[in-house]
Amino acid sequence: MSDRSRAGARRRPQRHLPLQVLLGFLVVYFLVPFWWVIVNSSKDAPGLFGGGNTLWFADQIDYLGNLSQLFTYDGGIYGRWILNSTLYALAGGIGATILSVMAGYGFAKYRFAARRFSFALVLGALMVPATALVIPTFIMFAELGLTNTIWAVILPSLLNPFGVYLMHVYARDAVPDEILDAARADGAGEIRTFLRIAFPLMRPAVVTVLLLSAVASWNNYFLPLAMLSDNRLFPVTVGLGLWQGIASANNAGSTSLWSLIIMGALVSVIPLVIAFFTLQRHWRGGLSLGGLR
């Protein structure tokens, strides 16, 4: 190795040092709240409010006790909230993925009247905050008599403009028109061509849209808060918010409830962590290829 190459090798780590420090700071910034939840979900009420270090474990670690109380408190309503969130995430995630795949593939591979205008509407919908649509959606569902039902949460979750855009970009780049034309020349119908040829090529993006849609449905808070009044239909996000309001209003007598809220928050993120780690390979591949032009 020449002297110039060795000098360049010595300078390169120093040049990237500020970026590495910034990334390290961001990692710590995002992990500290999660670490706080892990630590404090192990504490009972005296350990939580005893004035000790909130970023380290107390002398008494009681994960199992808090977990048992979490699923037995108020008649075990937390377990029902978890099941509700699972239903909303699966139904909303799968339904949004199906619609996004069909719409994105159609925009990418078919020519029809008002195609550009329709796709412009999809792009425009990306700019509208989801929370801005909650009140109009509530009024519409109230006129249809669908408020305080599971459909008031599931049906709005089926619309995913970002999923349509992602599938459009991915299908346009990952599914060659020549392969589709060859399949049609061999006598394959449009449905068979899509299922046997296009869909396998689009699978990474499909998994990506499914994961993002399911996570969005799981974390949804404002929509079910506006649509639902029966706490048996609440997802876990709204349920924990209800407990937090009770604990805040009766702080002197609800110290133990805060322990359950923190434990409930920890339990609620475990399915998301499992989903991300399980589908990580497809998720990263789908986003990277979908971002190519």
Residue-wise pLDDT tens digits, 231-262: 999 999 999 999 998 888 876 555 678 889 99
Q: What single letter denotes the amino acid at residue 67?
A: L
Cα–Cα distance, 209 to 203 (Å, whole number): 10
Where are the CATH 1.10.3720.10 domain residues in the chain? 65-290
Contacts of 221 (CB under 8 A, 6+ apart): 235, 237, 238, 241
Q: Describe the chain by its helix, strand, coil percentages, rounded to 5.
A: 80, 0, 20
Residue 153 has a pLDDT of: 96
Residue 60 has a pLDDT of: 79
Q: Which residues of the chain have pLDDT under 70?
A: 1-15, 51, 251-255, 281-293
pTM of the model: 0.86
pLDDT 10s digits, 123-151: 898 888 888 889 999 999 999 999 999 99
CATH domain 65-290 topology: MetI-like fold (1.10.3720)
Residue 286 has a pLDDT of: 47
What six digits make up the tokens of 207? 């998994």
Q: What count of other Cβ atoms lies within 10 Å of the Cβ of residue 196?
A: 11
CA 162 to chain centre: 13
Helices 115-126 and 77-109: crossing angle, nearest 10°? 150
Q: Do 205 and 289 form a contact (C-beta atoms < 8 A)?
A: yes
Residue 288 has a pLDDT of: 47
Say which DSSP state 53 is in.
-
DSSP 109-142: H---TTHHHHHHHHHHHHTS-GGGGHHHHHHHHH
